[in-house]
């Protein structure tokens, strides 16, 4: 009986350890979910906030709760674009940075990480085309 209990306990602990991970998990199905800023924030959380956060030096700050007001219809300080120009993804600096990252090293984002999946790029484009809604 005691041996059986130990075996079950070890098995349960092993499953618990295997199921724990420090990797971020996507909160959205970027191919099928309706447009939502929560999903856009999920992209930022997993790929951008490491560098673009309020305690860092890299603008724009993309922390949850402050990102929207920092990027939507806001001018980029060093070029002629807006970070996100509602209804105009190809005039939106953030969209260009993630979609052109294979074409030009100057645009590459996220920095030192793999390029975003095409589903996430398409989702961001659809969000911007929809007017970059908050909800």
Host domain of residue 34: 26-129
- Provide the domain count of the chain: 1
| Domain annotation covers residue 30 | yes
| Domain annotation covers residue 134 | no
- Predicted confidence pLDDT, tens digits, the chain (135 residues): 555 545 454 444 443 443 343 345 667 999 999 999 999 999 999 999 999 999 987 899 999 999 999 999 999 988 889 999 999 999 999 999 999 866 666 667 887 788 899 999 999 999 999 999 998
| Domain annotation covers residue 74 | yes
Measured distance CA(69)–CA(83) in Å, rounded: 11
Residue 111: predicted pLDDT: 78
| Domain annotation covers residue 49 | yes
| Domain annotation covers residue 76 | yes
CB atoms within 10 A of CB 97: 20
| Domain annotation covers residue 40 | yes
| Domain annotation covers residue 95 | yes
Residue 66: predicted pLDDT: 96
Residue 128: predicted pLDDT: 98
| Domain annotation covers residue 79 | yes
Measured distance CA(109)–CA(31) in Å, rounded: 21
Token pair recorded at residue 107: 């645009």
């Amino acid at each position: 009986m005691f041996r059986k209990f130990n075996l079950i306990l070890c098995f349960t602990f092993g499953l618990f350890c295997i199921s724990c991970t420090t990797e971020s998990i996507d909160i959205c199905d970027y191919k099928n979910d309706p447009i939502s800023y929560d999903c856009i924030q999920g992209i930022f959380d997993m790929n951008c906030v490491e560098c673009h956060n309020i305690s860092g030096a890299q603008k724009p700050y993309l922390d949850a709760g402050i990102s929207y007001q920092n990027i939507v219809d806001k001018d980029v300080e060093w070029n002629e674009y807006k970070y996100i120009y509602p209804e105009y993804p190809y005039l939106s600096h953030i969209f260009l940075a993630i979609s052109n990252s294979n074409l030009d090293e100057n645009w590459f984002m996220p920095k030192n990480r793999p390029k975003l999946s095409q589903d996430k790029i398409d989702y961001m484009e659809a969000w911007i085309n929809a007017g970059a809604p908050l909800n």
